[in-house]
Chains A and B, each alone.
Chain A
Amino acid sequence: MSKPLLALDGVCTNYGKIRILRDVSLTVGEGEVVALLGLNGAGKTTTMRSILGLTPPLAGTVKYAGQNITGWPAYRVARLGVGYVPEGRRMFKDLSTLENLQLAENGRGGAWTIPRVFEHLPKLAELRSRKAGRLSGGEQEMLAIGRALVANPHLLLVDEPSQGLAPLIVEDVYRILGELKQTGVAILIVEQNALLALKIADRAYVLDSGRIVHSGAAAELAADRDRIRTLMGLDVAPTG
């Protein structure tokens, strides 16, 4: 494995008095795509929030490029080059598509600019003046990804990108994530739809009740549907 860009070690995180994450350790290497799987409530989103400093861990460490960033405020983590595509997209609904993208410009420089995002996601260019709140779910997901890209991240945290989207659009979203992988961006992707994420991931972790219960190569896990079924305690829907 390449040297870890992101490393969580023994992370414990609470929401109020309720412990959500118990001793979570995981790594994401440079340019690697890692899937974090698990049922609803397993702690996947909390893991992302712990990395970003939105819900700071109570114990354990989060390291990014060798630097201890545990409990840093989100804006500092973001400025290091961590992009976030949140669950439910979280667009700034009253702002236009273009304004949503402009918000992510940070002067860090890099290959991704707004024109380049428009080039890659031409649909967004057409909708540049439309308010984000009036975009369809799929268009919003594209915008969420585009917004994260404009910041030129080294690591992209993608939370449930398939949620609430039609199958064709999900395919599109994953095609774009696959293209990103080719450009060398490391991606930590959280998904309930395990098989979908395993298709583009190099490695996978499975979370259950806040603990990592499995880690290994993505292809291996994808091939063993019984294993997924046992680990995630649910039927795995076949995907197209």
Chain B
Amino acid sequence: MIEHIGPQLFNGLVLGAFYAIVALGLSLIMNLTGTINMAHGSFMTLAGYLAYTMVLRKVPFGWALILAPLIAVLVGIIVERTLVRPLYKREPFYSLLMTFGLSLMAEEAFRLIWGPNGVPFSPPPALAGAASLGFMQFPTFRIFIVVVLLIAIAALALFLTRTRFGLRLRAAVQDTEMIAALGTNTQVLYAVNFSLGIFLAGIAGVLAGGMLGLSPTSGNALLMPAFVTVIIGGMGSLFGSIVGGLLVGIAISMTTLFIPAASEVSMYVLMAIVLLVRPRGLFGEEGIFG
């Protein structure tokens, strides 16, 4: 049993990195516009299927990993401009319902196009096999996933803290009216911010397709843990989403090892404990929907 702890901990980190990156996308969109994007999982699934189709048509996996999320972003921009944007001035409840409806429609569309069952989407041969981490063997593809997700998180952090656009986004989260009065077109900010969230979801979707399988509902399966992640990390905090994701991943993988039957419930228990101690989550801020 003990010898399984190391690999399982690493599995938890991989899973946690997925939750973190999906939660980051959710948080970005929620922080700026108050939109709870229930269709976030659908964008993951879409990117997964697109990458699957590309790889079938001999597009190298590396290219599919970039192109599929970009196409998902294009769809995301259309959705944001036509469906989400008119609801920005309303209560979050409206966009929640709308995006929930959208996710149901997307699920059926995936069924129609790619069939009701899961499709086999395996990692490319170069990333199959296992690599030695010195103290243990570990699947190469999972190491690749962790590296890609870490790069994506670091790139997001750099974008938000080191670029002018990132600065405007951070400011707009605090006061969109004032940022407009300083000469920034907030509609462009909203669209780019939404796209960023979808791009992160897309990358996670392609990688998850190769690790956890790909079916019409696979993205939505990651969505609930991602919401739990946002709540544990604290709404409004991007850093919280990262910490929360890793905690949820480790909680699930450790309970899978010791009490397999409780693996599903463990993240909710974790959430309950965190909320008892810190009602706003670990790094949460006040008045996100104020």
Contacts and interface: CB of A to CB of B under 8 A. Distances in A.
Interface of A: 52, 54, 73-75, 78-79, 84, 86, 90, 92-95, 99-100, 102-104, 106, 147, 151
B62 interface: no
**Which among A54, A94, A95, A103 has the highest number of chain B CB atoms within 10 Å?**
A103
Given A75-B182, A104-B182, 18 more contacts: A54-B180, A74-B180, A74-B181, A75-B180, A75-B184, A78-B183, A84-B181, A84-B182, A86-B181, A90-B175, A92-B174, A93-B174, A95-B171, A95-B174, A99-B171, A103-B179, A103-B182, A106-B182
A103 B185 contact: no
B186 A92 contact: no
Size class of the contact patch on chain B: 10 to 19
B183 A86 contact: no
- For B168, B175, B182, which residue has the most chain A Cβ atoms within 10 angstroms? B182
Contacts of B177: 54, 74
Contact of B178 (A73, A86, A94, A99): A86
A197 B233 CA distance: 48
Contacts of A74: 177, 180-181
B183 A94 contact: no
B185 A75 contact: yes
Tell me the interface secondary structure of chain A in the complex: loop
Contacts of B280: none
Interface of B: 164, 167-168, 170-171, 174-175, 177-186
B202 to A, nearest CB: 29
A94 B175 CA distance: 11
B171 A52 contact: no
A129 B188 CA distance: 28
A95 B182 contact: no
B194 to A, nearest CB: 18
B167 A99 contact: yes
7 contacts: A73-B180, A74-B177, A84-B181, A90-B178, A92-B174, A95-B171, A100-B171
A95 B172 CA distance: 11
A73 B171 CA distance: 18
Given A54-B177, A74-B177, A102-B164, A92 B171 contact: yes
A74 B171 CA distance: 16
Contact of A147 (B167, B182, B185): B182
A77 to B, nearest CB: 8
A47 to B, nearest CB: 15
Contacts of A104: 182-183
A52 B164 contact: no
Contacts of A86: 178, 181
Given A75-B186, A92-B175, A93-B174, A103 B181 contact: no
B183 A79 contact: yes
A6 B164 CA distance: 31
B185 A73 contact: yes
Nearest to B174: A92
| Most chain A CB neighbours (cut-off 10 Å) among B170, B177, B183 | B183
Contacts of A93: 174
B170 A54 contact: no
For the complex of A and B, list the 10 residue pairs with the smallest distance between their C-beta atoms, beginning with the closest.
A78-B183, A74-B180, A92-B171, A84-B181, A75-B185, A75-B180, A106-B183, A79-B183, A90-B178, A74-B181
Given A92-B178, A93-B174, A102 B167 contact: yes
Contacts of B178: 84, 86, 90, 92
Nearest to B164: A102
A84 B170 CA distance: 20
Given A90-B175, A102-B164, A78 B170 contact: no
Contacts of B174: 92-95
B86 to A, nearest CB: 16
Given A73-B185, A102-B164, A78 B171 contact: no
B160 to A, nearest CB: 12
Contacts of A75: 180-186
